[in-house]
Amino acid sequence: MTTTAPRRTLAWAAPVLAALIALPFVVPPYQTVLLTYGLVFAIAALGFNLLLGYTGLLSFGHSAYFGMGAYAVAFIVKYAKLESMEAFLLGGVLASGAVAAVFGVLCVRYTKIFFGILTLALSQVLWSLAFKFFWVTGGSDGLRVPTPTLLGGAVRAGSDKFEFLSHRYYFYVLAVFVVAVALMWVIVHSPFGKALQAIRDNETRAEFVGVQVRHYRWVAFLISGMFTGLAGALWVPLNGLTTPDILHWTFSGKIVFFTVLGGFQTFFGPIVGAVIFNYLETYAVGHTVYWQMVLGIVLVALVLVLPAGIVGTVRRLLARPVRAV
């Protein structure tokens, strides 16, 4: 899957990171906020791809963990009256992890289409609960989440919320994003990650060399759900509101879309896909009421013409001259 040496990856990852740090000082705040959304979705896609790209399981229910992360934050605000971002992240990750642990036990017994449908059905359970238990969840109105304080109250939002989001909060998300990427990199390159890839490529052989297939799948499911939940927790303060929409299965479809757009057979594909999808959707929504059609056409074209996704295709194009030598 990822045969690139760590050093070569660092060689281009470092300039990209430097550019990301410099960005808020160069571009208008609106662009920074837009990119913040992109980075948040990238974390979700990264978690999702541990299942699709590395374990070979297509989940159509990852909205459940994203939404659980987001609603956990809203509940912390509503019931515990906390405003600390660290509490939000901890709560979001734990809540989505708890849900993923339970759903995972049920789902990893299946693969392929049944896995997809089961994850979808379970995520819809959460959606319908969020939708109907309005006295707890606010129903379709959702729950409001105020601007949090960062780093244990050391960094607070001033009077200008937008300024806060486009600078301090952006750097906060960027830092979490870098940690999440590094963590996922370590996970997929660890023996555990290799075992997952063995399961993906040949379940029977993996079983024969002693990999506990179901247990490994469950752990992958759990990690995947927690990453996506982390993204959900980071997303709420940005959006200021959480509604059942993010629990609906069509949002799961979007997470799948991010990942395939970037290329699920690569490590960085989902990240690129999520950021680009976010721009694509924002501009499509801004320019036409028929934005869903635009996205649909892109997806259909992608599947028919560029199944390897953006990163996968770029990598193949780059690799071609080397192979010719």
Non-local (6+) Cβ contacts of 312 within 8 A are 263, 265, 266, 269
Site map 29..58 versus another protein, x via CB under 8 A: -----------------------x-----x
- In whole angstroms, how close is the CB of 148 to another protein at the nearest point? 30
Q: Which stretch binds another protein (CB under 8 A): 124-132, 152-160, 235-243, 274-282?
A: 124-132
- Alpha-carbon distance 266 to 233, whole Å? 25
> Which of helix, strand or coil describes residue 144?
strand
Instruction: Tell me the C-alpha distance between 211 and 123, whole Å.
Output: 28
Q: Which of 151, 307, 316, 319 binds another protein (CB under 8 A)?
A: 307
DSSP-assigned beta bridge partners for residue 242: 143
Q: Which stretch binds another protein (CB under 8 A): 12-20, 147-155, 303-311, 317-325?
A: 303-311
DSSP 215-233: HHHHHHHHHHHHHHHHHHH
Under the criterion CB under 8 A, does residue 202 sit at the interface with another protein?
no
Give the tokens for residue 244. 């059942």
Residue 155 backbone dihedrals phi, psi, to 5 degrees = -115, 125
CB of 114 or CB of 162, closer to another protein? 114
Which residues, numbered 271-290, are part of the site for another protein (CB under 8 A)? 289-290
Binding mask 219-258 for another protein (x = CB under 8 A): ------------------------------xx--x--xx-
d(CA 158, CA 290): 37
At 155 the three-state DSSP class reads strand
- Considering the complex, what minimum distance in angstroms separates the CB of residue 4 from another protein? 24
Q: Which residues bind another protein (CB under 8 A)?
A: 52, 58, 60, 106, 109-110, 112-114, 116-118, 120-122, 124-125, 128-129, 131-133, 249-250, 253, 256-257, 260, 289-293, 295-300, 302-304, 307
